[in-house]
Chains A and B, each alone.
Chain A
Amino acid sequence: MFLLETRASFINIMNIVFIFYLIFLSIYVAFNAYAIFRISKIRIKGDITGLVLFIYAALIIAIIFTSLMFASRLSWGAIDLKGIF
């Protein structure tokens, strides 16, 4: 009985942790979208800023996509991402 309660509370904790992670991702993406917008405004014609911004955005997308793909294979309590990935 104790083990079952412990497991249930742990699943709830994981659930909350994952929600916090998703909130972090939302804030992170918003922050970087604005940062990229700002940097693209100060770029100088002919410099490599465009290429760097493209690589930066691609890496962010790759990291987030990979993380969510791995996360979909794990158990997060009530959250089930298996249907998405």
Chain B
Amino acid sequence: MLDFREYLHLVSRPEDNDHVVIFARRHWASYIGQFSFNIFLLILPAIIFITYKLLNMYLLEGAVINFILIAVSIYYLISLTFTFVSWVTFYYDIYILTTRGIIDIVQEGLWGRKISQLSLLQVQDVSSKVFGIMRTIFNFGDVIVLTAAEVPNFNLEAVPNPQFFADKVLELHNELKRRKGNKVGDNTGNPEIENFNKPIDNINKIISTSDASLQESRGQGEVSKDDLNKGGEVKL
């Protein structure tokens, strides 16, 4: 089982006996547009230079070259940093589904990060949305988690295989709710009550179910999972 304490630097205080079921980042295809723009920014000076050469313009003479050298150097450095910041913003948008809750980490540039946590007990409904050609081709989309009225809804964007993610949220929610129901029935002397704070008994079953479904999905080329051998971590 993946030790959740590895993510202590991401979330403040994970609950005891909490285990990561799904660890997902934004789908790489959602970064294609930004990446293309960054590449365009990086090759733009080369395009301008070639245009100058083709038009036989001889403005690049004398002391103008000094200014152009500095301008191009500064331009490339800033463009490079811009590209890096956009990558960080993309790569550190992380969605973690645990046996007890959902953690949505949104990276905003280099200096900003928003971490939202939601208990699965507060989940009322989950829906997934795959809209558009790119999203349909690469099978990624949004997962909208509807919560109790006082808690804002969770909108997880560009989640790989969103239907699977939504199904797993509901499955874990029902499991947790069932156990919560058992705890409420403490007066009845139900033997399961005492184990409520222990790890969910059938977590291995849930994870193995995920494993089987992922294996099946991977056969269809929809899901890749390379890190299941880490002990339950499902990477969509």
Measured CB to CB, the residues of A under 8 A from B are 10, 14, 17-18, 21, 24, 28, 32, 35, 38-39, 41-42, 44-49, 52, 56, 59-60, 63-64, 67, 70-71, 74-76
Task: Give 21 A-B contacts (CB < 8 Å), ordered by A residue.
Answer: A14-B63, A17-B67, A18-B70, A21-B74, A28-B81, A32-B81, A41-B9, A42-B9, A42-B92, A45-B6, A47-B91, A48-B91, A52-B87, A56-B80, A56-B84, A63-B76, A64-B77, A67-B72, A74-B65, A74-B66, A74-B69
Classify the secondary structure of A's interface with B: helix
Given A21-B73, A35-B110, A44-B6, does the pair A59, B80 have CB atoms closer than 8 Å? yes
Given A14-B63, A17-B67, A74-B65, does the pair A63, B6 have CB atoms closer than 8 Å? no
Min CB–CB distance A75 → chain B (angstroms)? 8
Identity of the chain A residue whose Cβ is nearest the Cβ of B226 in the assembled complex: A46
The distance in angstroms between the C-alpha atoms of A17 and B68, with both chains bound, is 12
Size bin of chain B's contact surface: 20 to 34
Contact A70 B69 (CB under 8 A): yes
Contacts of B131 in A (CB 8 A): none
Contact B110 A39 (CB under 8 A): yes
Contact B88 A67 (CB under 8 A): no
Q: Which of B63, B74, B87 has the most CB of A within 10 A?
A: B63
The distance in angstroms between the C-alpha atoms of A54 and B231, with both chains bound, is 29
Going nearest first, the 7 A-B pairs with the smallest beta carbon separation are A67-B73, A21-B70, A63-B76, A35-B110, A56-B84, A74-B66, A70-B69
The distance in angstroms between the C-alpha atoms of A32 and B192, with both chains bound, is 54
Contact B69 A71 (CB under 8 A): yes
Q: Does B148 contact A (CB under 8 A)?
A: no
Min CB–CB distance A56 → chain B (angstroms)? 5
The distance in angstroms between the C-alpha atoms of A70 and B65, with both chains bound, is 10
Cross-chain contact of B110 among A38, A48, A67 (Cβ < 8 A):
A38
Contact A42 B10 (CB under 8 A): yes
The distance in angstroms between the C-alpha atoms of A56 and B76, with both chains bound, is 12
Q: Does B52 contact A (CB under 8 A)?
A: no
Contact A76 B110 (CB under 8 A): no
Contacts of A64 in B (CB 8 A): 73, 77
Contacts of B63 in A (CB 8 A): 10, 14, 75
Min CB–CB distance B2 → chain A (angstroms)? 10
Identity of the chain B residue whose Cβ is nearest the Cβ of A68 in the assembled complex: B73
Contacts of B80 in A (CB 8 A): 56, 59-60, 63
Given A24-B74, A41-B9, A44-B6, does the pair A67, B81 have CB atoms closer than 8 Å? no
Min CB–CB distance A70 → chain B (angstroms)? 6
The distance in angstroms between the C-alpha atoms of A47 and B74, with both chains bound, is 30
Contact B70 A17 (CB under 8 A): yes
Q: A14-B66, A67-B70 are in contact. List 15 more A-B contacts (CB 8 A).
A: A17-B70, A18-B70, A21-B70, A21-B73, A28-B81, A35-B84, A39-B88, A48-B91, A60-B80, A63-B73, A63-B80, A67-B72, A67-B73, A71-B66, A71-B70
